[in-house]
Structure 1
Amino acid sequence: MDGATGFHAGELAVQQRAGTRGEAQRLAGMLDEPDLRGGVGHFLAERTLAGLVARDTAGRLWISPLTGAPGFLDATGATTLRVHSVPGPGDPLRGLPVGQPVGLLAIEFARRRRVRANGTLAAVGPSGLTVEVEQAYGNCPQYIQQRVLDAVPAAAPEYPGEPVAVARDALDPDDMALVAAADTFLLGTTHPERGNDASHRGGSPGFVRVAGPHRLWWPDYPGNNMFNSFGNLEVDPTAALVFVDFATGRTLHLSGTARVEWSATGPGDDGGTGRRVWFEVEAVVAGSADGLRADAVEPYRRNPALT
């Protein structure tokens, strides 16, 4: 990462096209160098879930959930974040390489709050990661479905050879059903100089449409007008998604490419933006993770109605 602050050229281009350049500029200060010793660090310390965007040993981009008891996200300095968790057995980011850009999204469903923290993976150990953070800022509560995650259980022993995940190159019927019923997923994108970024997408169950074993799409709802994810996609279409079945803890990781359709026609329930995102599936990993179960959900009251 180049350590630059402010919006990059891709973000500026998308803001200009969307007509939100002025609104975004008023938020540009959020992208300045962070200080994790304040409110952001306190928020991170209380969380039990974060999404991690990084590349595997083959260079493919994925986004994976990391879970732990409160305190597992531990700011040990103004820009240093110690993560007391690693991707589990079978996760596509298990054994991820050190020295690469990473994006983190810490999210609290219960109070509809979230913080992005992007930087460089400085160290990887058997039980944790160290991230040197270059950006850290909060996002609005829009489209976060309210749920209370169960307490994170103690780590289960590992049994070598036990199948914990299934990898394939297309969605199977169970995958399609999980996606079609989802009200939430996490999105990972990347930029050649600014690194990786994790974000949240939510809506009423069914807001993500499956168009076949290799394609899906979702409507783009009005947001904070910064267009961090779309700005990255303007420069590099590489993207990753992760869906969770909160009743069972099942996870579905997808890696591929994404593109923004700016003048969508037909049903889209997009809140008036006219935008949707098409995702091309290249790789799939289905597994499960601790700390991702919730018995009930309270939908965000301003989810656009499905059409």
Structure 2
Amino acid sequence: MSVFHEGERMVQKRIGVQATADLMGRMIQSVIPQGFDVFLEEQSIVVIASTDAACSLWASLITGYPGMIQVKDPKTIEIHTQFVLQDPFISNIKHNGNVGLIVIDFEHQIRIRINGKAKFTDENALRVDVEQVYGNCPKHIQMRSLTPSDRRLGPLQTSGRQAKLTPEQAQWIRDADTFFIASSGPEGKTDASHRGGNPGFIQVLGNDTLVFPDYRGNMQFNTLGNIQINPHTGILFIDFHMGRTLQLTGRSTIVWDIWEEEKLRFPGAQRLVEFRMDGVIQTEHVIPFDWNLLGYSPYNPR
């Protein structure tokens, strides 16, 4: 029985990579493999994808210190940290437990994805019952080291939901080299994924539309497969210098055929994704780290 749903299969068939996808699909496990537990319990960065009552998707940042993730058994993890109570995922999980997690180590360019059902066991503890877990390749992860700081001790400020980007936010996105995307497939099963490239790889059209390239990846097409059947998506940007986040929610469309002019604007793109936003939330003083950029991924198209 395939681990892929019909949206993923549609994309794989269109691109002609079904055999490769089936091979890569063997990596997707229903339990946490041996060795993953050690990695997970050493990490401080988790991005979580969730769905709100209006079926909009959100990607949210969870931070803490090594040990905040506890692997209770091969089917269960718990996250213990000080959650940002204003974040959309807090209320989302209370009515829809489907979540996707990506746990990422920027310095060593390692990422693990976990999909499952989540619930709060208390204000500072989130339990996730694992349904899928798998690693991804290191492509397009920019190398950054992190050190704890007292930045989070500043007053946490959230803009509340806005409809459009401000000029400053649009420039933030143009300068970005990393973002995370939340998507959802059949039965509301939710996924979080990482995207990276050299600064400028995302283009901002007006104050409500982004266009970004889809580079050659692991051939599973989890995100594009979700978009194929459910355009609702969420995007998270991290400001590594200022310790703030930008969360967007909206709808995505896959641009399958790209012109020569677009290939010049998006070198290395296999396809494009156009994202039209419905809402924007900016949060200040939310990340308790200082970051040092060690280098860009050698896989990034120049």
- Matches of 1:152 and 1:30, distance apart in 2: 36
Counterparts of 1:101 and 1:21 in 2: how far apart (Å)?
27
Shift of 1:269: 2.8
In the alignment, is the contact (CA less than 8 A) between 1:46 and 1:70 conserved in 2?
yes
- Residue in structure 2 matched with residue 177 of structure 1 by the alignment: 171
Instruction: Give the distance between the partners of 1:109 and 1:155, measured in 2 at CA.
Output: 20
Aligned to 1:7: 4
| 1:120 maps to 2:114 | no
Q: Quick one: which amino acid aligns to residue 178 of structure 1?
A: W
Q: CA deviation at 1:86?
A: 5.5
Match of residue 220, structure 1, among 214, 217, 232: 214
* Residue 237 to residue 272, structure 1, CA distance change in 2 (3 Å): closer
CA distance in 1, matches of 2:92, 2:150: 24
Q: Is the 8 A contact 2:202 2:210 kept in 1?
A: yes
Which residue in 1 is equivalent to 2:101? Answer: 104
1:282 pairs with 2:278: yes
Matched position secondary structure for 1:6: coil
Asked if 1 retains the 8 angstrom alpha-carbon contact of 2:24 and 2:219, the reply is no
The worse-fitting range, judged by mean Cα deviation, of 288-297 and 17-26 is 288-297
The Cα of 1:154 is off from its aligned counterpart by: 9.2
Give, in whole Å, the separation in 1 of the partners of 2:205 and 2:39. 38
Question: Is 2:252 the counterpart of 1:263?
Answer: no
Q: Deviation of residue 153 (structure 1)?
A: 4.9
Q: Normalising by structure 2, report the TM-score.
A: 0.92
Query: TM-score under structure 1 normalisation?
Result: 0.90
One-letter code of the match for 1:182? A
Equivalence map 1:122-137=2 (5 Å): 122-137=119-134
Please tell me whether the aligned partners of residues 5 and 31 of structure 1 are also in contact (alpha carbons under 8 angstroms).
no
| CA distance 1:7–1:270, change in 2 (3 Å) | farther
Which residue, out of 37, 40, 53, partners 2:36?
40
Partner residue in 1 for 2:200: 206
After TM superposition, give the deviation of residue 73 of structure 1 in Å: 1.1
- Measured in 1, the distance between the counterparts of 2:251 and 2:300 equals 26
Contact kept? 1:179, 1:210, Cα under 8 Å = yes
Structure 2 Cα separation of the partners of residues 173 and 234 of structure 1: 31
Task: State the SS of the aligned residue for 1:42.
Answer: helix
State the Cα distance separating 1:5 from its structure 2 match: 6.0
State the partner residue of 1:252.
246
Q: Which residue of 1 aligns with 2:223?
A: 229
Q: Name the structure where strand makes up a greater proportion of residues.
A: 2
Q: Percent identity?
A: 33
> Which residue in 2 is equivalent to 1:294?
291
* Structure with greater helix share of residues: 2
Q: Note the alpha carbon deviations across 1:182-203, whole angstroms, 9 max, x for none.
A: 0000010001326100000000
Q: Which runs of 5+ in 1 are unaligned?
A: none
Please give the alpha-carbon distance, in whole angstroms, between the structure 1 residues aligned to 2:299 and 2:173. Answer: 21
Match of 2:47 among 45, 48, 51: 51
Shift of 1:206: 0.7
> d(CA) in 2 for partners of 1:66 and 1:202?
19
Q: What is the root-mean-square deviation in Å for CA atoms of aligned residues?
A: 2.1
Equivalent position amino acid for 1:69 in 2: Y
- Equivalent in the alignment of 1:186: 180
Bigger Cα displacement from structure 2, 277-286 vs 20-29:
20-29
Q: Quick check: 2:83–2:124 contact (8 Å CA) kept in 1? A: no
1:80·1:133 contact (CA, 8 Å) conserved in 2? Answer: yes
Q: How far apart, in 1, do the equivalents of 2:159 and 2:292 lie?
A: 23
The answer to which of 285-294 and 203-212 deviates more is 285-294
Structure 1 residues 153 and 56: alpha-carbon distance in aligned structure 2, compared to 1, 3 A threshold: farther
Q: Residue 84 of structure 2 aligns with which residue?
A: 88
Q: In the alignment, is the contact (CA less than 8 A) between 1:268 and 1:276 conserved in 2?
A: no
Structure 1 residue 263: Cα displacement: 0.8
| Deviation at residue 52 of structure 1 after TM alignment | 0.5
Q: Aligned partners of 2:127, 2:63: CA distance in 1, in Å?
A: 15
CA drift of 1:163 comes to: 4.1
Judging changes above 3 Å, is the alpha-carbon distance between structure 1 residues 102 and 186 closer, same or farther for their aligned structure 2 residues? same
**Once the 2 structures are TM-superposed, how far is the Cα of residue 301 of structure 1 from its aligned partner?**
1.5
Q: Secondary structure at the match of 2:111?
A: strand
Q: Is the 1:67–1:152 Cα contact (8 Å) retained in structure 2? A: no
1:252-303 deviation line (CA, Å, top 9, x unaligned): 0000011110111223434252x00000010000013223531324111221
How many angstroms apart in 2 are the aligned matches of 1:152 and 1:68? Answer: 11
CA contact (8 A) 1:68 1:152 kept: no
